[in-house]
A and B are shown apart, each in its own frame.
Chain A
Amino acid sequence: MNVLSLNSVCAAPYGSPLLQDISFNLKAGQVLGLMGPNGAGKSSLLHCIAGGIPCTSGGLYLNGTPLKDWPLLVRARALAMQVQSAALNFPFTVDEVILLGRTPHASGNLCDKEVLQEVMTATDTTELRHRPYTQLSGGEKQRVQLARAVAQVWREEDAPTRLLLLDEPNSALDLSHQRMVLDLVATLAKTGCTIILATHDFNLLSAHANQLLVMHQGTQHSYGTPEEVLTPTMFQRIFNVSVLVQRHPENNSPLVVHV
């Protein structure tokens, strides 16, 4: 059973087509890496899967049911998204922001507090919990938003299937926190949560994604395992840079090296 299934999805929210003919399938616990140059349509695709951008043709199925047939609240229990820029101008404290991720669930105060503790530990935000969100640095804000999205789909009991969409969750993070995102993605995937991760960190995707999807001008350029997708030819065509693809000395996954 596919958790998520896209069948020739097209979307054109502002008139001209943003997404054309995107197709892929994801099973429970799989991690899909989304890559492509700026403006290739990665964020649009994520918003489309989350239901924020309507698809004009093609089929978009969450757990076998067309996405638009899911009631809003039930969908929010199964599907969470961390967006790239979150503009929160009100001085919520960090724990209040993270708890907003529990809004769609009726799991009760006690359970939510437990989720909060676990998620804060996993995202290294425990130290920040009483700070106002508006006074945090860019990287801290990014971790808090990550924690909020993760809190929404943290428990296996939350929904029969869980899908987490992360739009460049590590773009403002330091090295140790980038590592933390990796570990978090691996932990969540192990509990059966399906994850789509858009990022420019190819080596991260190579080591942790089951599948990669390369987007180019709103279309699907290539789709497959990291071995199939990460080739010097692809980098030359899509990013217009020459790279070497070596092997990682420890886990033998493809390793992209700039030349």
Chain B
Amino acid sequence: MIIGREIKAKRLLVILLLLLPLSLLGALAWGSVSLGLEESLQALTQLLQQPGDRASVIIGQIRLPRALLAAIVGAMLGISGAAMQGIFRNPLADPSLIGVTAGASLGASIMIASAGSWITGLGGLGLISVGAFVGGMLAVIIVYRLANSEQGTSVATMLLAGIAITALAGAMNSILELFSSNEILRRISLWRMGGLDGADYQRVTAALAVCLLVVLTLPRYATALNALLLGESEARYLGVDVEKTKTWIVVVVAVAVGTSVALAGTIAFIGLVIPHIVRLLIGPDHRYLLPASALAGAILLVCADIVARTVIAPTELPVGIVTACIGVPFFISLLHRRSDYGMQ
């Protein structure tokens, strides 16, 4: 007897919901100073009453905001990867591979360069996010226009367009650096270096607000995305407002990627690896794929960040290196077996 996919999907969602707090707890306990699970739990409860001792300072000021930011960014990347692959009707459409992240990063740099000394605090973060959002949005629109046709999305065109946009963004970044004053140059490189280690509660709050918006909006288009996988005209004949769906998803994904680039820099491959694994486990039904990808993305980035902080402690690796180490072999194996996914 084959267990129905719906039951499997619900089971996976429950498992992921249990794993997420566990991974967060792990992120609190492990680091260059190892605290142990028990001490972390104690410190966490103390934190609510009166902060003071070493463990609660480490956890309250450093590890907790960082773990939360990792979870939020991971969730946004996971769910936007899944939604993006839905509208591209192609399991290889990852924001970082098709140039959306590069576009967002360029947008952010331009914003820092042009806004100059205004880039401080939450307002500055907002400005950088707007720049990243506009850059990411332009990139999605260009790639979509180039690669999408009635027959589906051409993998080759999509990846080539991503290469072109990434190269263009790199070149424009260099030009920007060439003509920037020392002060602005310092700000740009500071921002670019700042991965998750710049986490504070201000950032976490901002990220949480955007994340809630993304996680609550995208699943409303789950059935529309399912129909869209059949093709655009088929979806239209099934009563889906295709243009509205595509516009909303592109905007929400650009917001999600823009925010995560502004907050945590370029973190590649989460949007590729996570939806793919979830699809292997429970199938491509977006009603379950979207929430499961958000949860699994959060768990993966929290765990990747634990590795990044501990593997050569006390020095830290940028978390993007860890996700790339997981993602690249995965991506290559996907390319190798692309005929299994009916891709040209």
- Residues of A at the B interface (CB closer than 8 Å) are 47, 50-52, 72-77, 79-81, 83, 85-93, 96-97, 100-101, 103-104, 130, 134, 148, 152
Complex CA gap A51/B233 in Å reads: 9
> B340: which A residues are within 8 A, CB to CB?
134
- A72:B239 contact, CB within 8 angstroms: yes
- B239:A90 contact, CB within 8 angstroms: no
B158–chain A nearest beta-carbon distance, Å: 13
Listed from nearest, the 10 A-B pairs whose CB atoms lie closest are A76-B239, A104-B239, A90-B284, A73-B239, A89-B342, A87-B152, A52-B233, A103-B238, A81-B237, A134-B342
For the A-B complex with A72-B240, A72-B241, A90-B91 known, give 12 more contacts whose Cβ atoms are closer than 8 Å.
A47-B233, A76-B238, A79-B237, A88-B231, A89-B89, A89-B152, A90-B284, A91-B283, A96-B285, A97-B230, A134-B340, A152-B238
Contacts A/B (CB < 8 Å), 10 sampled? A74-B239, A76-B238, A83-B234, A89-B229, A90-B284, A90-B341, A100-B238, A101-B238, A103-B238, A148-B230
| Residue B223 is within 8 A (CB to CB) of chain A in the complex | yes
- B230:A88 contact, CB within 8 angstroms: yes
B339–chain A nearest beta-carbon distance, Å: 10
| Residue B151 is within 8 A (CB to CB) of chain A in the complex | yes
Of the candidates A74, A90, A103, the one whose C-beta lies within 8 Å of that of B240 is A103
> By the criterion of a CB under 8 Å from any partner CB, how many residues of chain B are at the interface?
29
- A72:B236 contact, CB within 8 angstroms: yes
Complex CA gap A90/B227 in Å reads: 12
B245–chain A nearest beta-carbon distance, Å: 11
Question: A51 with B342: in contact, given A89-B89, A100-B227 (CB under 8 Å)?
Answer: no
| Residue B307 is within 8 A (CB to CB) of chain A in the complex | no
Which residue of chain A has the shortest Cβ distance to B233 in the bound complex? A52
Complex CA gap A144/B90 in Å reads: 21
> A92: which B residues are within 8 A, CB to CB?
229, 283-285
- B239:A89 contact, CB within 8 angstroms: no
| Residue B127 is within 8 A (CB to CB) of chain A in the complex | no
| Residue B279 is within 8 A (CB to CB) of chain A in the complex | yes
Complex CA gap A100/B231 in Å reads: 12
> A89: which B residues are within 8 A, CB to CB?
89-91, 152, 229, 341-343
| Residue B5 is within 8 A (CB to CB) of chain A in the complex | yes
- B284:A87 contact, CB within 8 angstroms: no
B189–chain A nearest beta-carbon distance, Å: 41
> B227: which A residues are within 8 A, CB to CB?
100, 103
CB under 8 Å from chain A, chain B span 81-131: 89-91
Question: A96 with B5: in contact, given A52-B236, A75-B239, A76-B238 (CB under 8 Å)?
Answer: yes
| Residue B226 is within 8 A (CB to CB) of chain A in the complex | yes
- A88:B229 contact, CB within 8 angstroms: yes
- B279:A77 contact, CB within 8 angstroms: no
Chain B positions 229 through 263: 1 when the CB is less than 8 Å from some CB of chain A, otherwise 0: 11101101111110000000000000000000000
- B237:A130 contact, CB within 8 angstroms: no
> B237: which A residues are within 8 A, CB to CB?
50-52, 76, 79-81
- B230:A96 contact, CB within 8 angstroms: no
A86–chain B nearest beta-carbon distance, Å: 6
Which residue of chain A has the shortest Cβ distance to B229 in the bound complex? A90
Question: A103 with B239: in contact, given A87-B89, A88-B230 (CB under 8 Å)?
Answer: yes
